[in-house]
Amino acid sequence: MNDHPMFRPMRFGAAELRNRIVMAPMTRQRSPGGVPGRDVAAYYRRRAEGGVGMVVSEGTFIDHEGAACYQNVPHFFGAEALAGWREVLRGVHDAGALMVPQLWHVGSYRRLGMAPDPAVPGFAPSALREGDAEVVRAMDEADIRTVAASYARGAAAARELGFDGVAIHGAHGYLADQFLWTRDNRRADGYGGDLVARCRFAVEVVRAMRAAAGPGFPIVFRFSQWKQDDYDARIAETPDELATILGALAGAGVDVFDASTRRFWAPAFAGSPDSLAAWTRRLSGRLAMAVGCVGLDQPHQSKVYRTKDNVAAEVTDVDHVVQAMARGDFDLVCVGRALLADPDWPRKVRAGDFGAIRPFRHDHLSTYG
């Protein structure tokens, strides 16, 4: 396995990845008050000890008033939360892995009446009403500048704390993705309408982050076609449209694209066997990261919403990953549920000991360690 594509070192900004395996961002909701504690630090350190090259944190809320809608999700602002992340990072670095925090704004998933401040509505490209109440407000240009500045403060904090880069959650129907998607973006101004205009919000966020973090500090952008409530959704119907989105973001300062799919090998467009990550690498000229059922055997789930009754998956080999990386389809491979089930997944894969890998079961979503 010494020449296995997944285990080749690679430069990442000012640091070096010991291998190409990345722990995927996975929301855990184990940070009361938004503060990651010792259990969070131990959880991430354990995956680093298991052999991953880099950890992408679970989504962390930026300091904008409308960023949050889920309980016990960590913040990436405030002295106490940032001190907690400093301890998390120390453990990951001590175990030999790199780490980037993923910055998150939920957009219209927030509604008026939600914690932590019920008086604060959701913020999104277009307004939403429930009865007589506007529960989500359409962001004006001042709101957009405010949110971009919030992301920028997060990027600056990541660099100041010693993280190896910073990531933005621009996928799965959250705020940046909502601007890209025609269903959620019904604007008629410079942030809506054609595809270039729909990219403008994300571009301005990335530019603000780049200005705050400075040159040479990697920015990772997670994007997806699918949404939480629509697995068939698409922000790009053709490779040309995807090229427009990726080109705009790369020009703004993105270094790595995290192409989130439910099956990393699935063809992205009709008429080609190439995956979304493969198209992304070719069209963007940037590093590409593949994610989706790596190391898991769950072929019957492609069109089924996951529930506690069908989320389990068996262990499979990584032949598809090896073949794709050998073709140059992508540079990094993002692993999620397989690492929840077995933190030593990278070590066991490197040893070729697939029979020793623990399969993923529903209770791995609720256990923590």
Class of the CATH-defined domain 5-353:
alpha beta
At 282, is the secondary structure helix, strand, or coil? helix
* pLDDT at site 190: 98
Tell me the sheet residues that pair with 219.
166
56-117-224-180 Cα dihedral, nearest 10 degrees: -130
> Domain locations in the chain?
5-353
* 356 DSSP assignment: G
Question: Which token pair is 98?
Answer: 């790199």
Sheet holding 128-130, edge to edge: 122-124, 133-138, 128-130
Residue 127: half-sphere exposure toward Cβ, Cα within 13 Å: 11
Give the strand pairing for 133-138 and 128-130: antiparallel
Q: Is 369 exposed, middle or buried (0-12, 13-18, 19+ CB in 10 A)?
A: exposed
Q: Give the Cα-Cα-Cα angle 58, 60, 61 (nearest 5 degrees).
A: 150
* pLDDT at site 364: 78
* pLDDT at site 368: 73
Distance of CA 360 to the CA centre of its chain: 21
Q: Which residues are catalytic?
A: 174
Q: Name the phi and psi angles at 171, rounded to 5.
A: -125, 180
Q: Name the phi and psi angles at 56, rounded to 5.
A: -100, 125
Residue among 42, 46, 37 at smallest CA distance from 75: 37
Distance between CA atoms of residues 295 and 275, nearest Å:
17
* pLDDT at site 312: 81
Q: Which helix (H) or strand (E) holds 19?
A: none
Distance between CA atoms of residues 368 and 339, nearest Å:
12
Tell me the sheet residues that pair with 102.
59, 167
* 31 DSSP assignment: -
Distance between CA atoms of residues 206 and 93, nearest Å:
26
* pLDDT at site 301: 53
pTM, two decimals, is 0.96
Question: Which token pair is 126?
Answer: 């277009």
Per residue of the chain (369 residues), give pLDDT as tens.
557 899 999 999 999 999 999 999 999 999 999 999 999 999 999 999 999 999 999 999 999 999 999 999 999 999 999 999 999 999 999 999 999 999 999 999 999 999 999 999 999 999 999 999 999 999 999 999 999 999 999 999 999 999 999 999 999 999 999 999 999 999 999 999 999 999 999 999 999 999 999 999 999 999 999 999 899 999 999 999 999 999 999 999 999 999 999 999 999 999 999 999 999 999 999 999 999 999 998 655 555 555 555 678 889 999 999 999 999 999 999 999 999 999 999 999 999 999 999 999 877 777 677
DSSP 155-205: HHHHHHHT-S-EEEE--BTSHHHHHH-TTT----STTSSSHHHHHHHHHHH
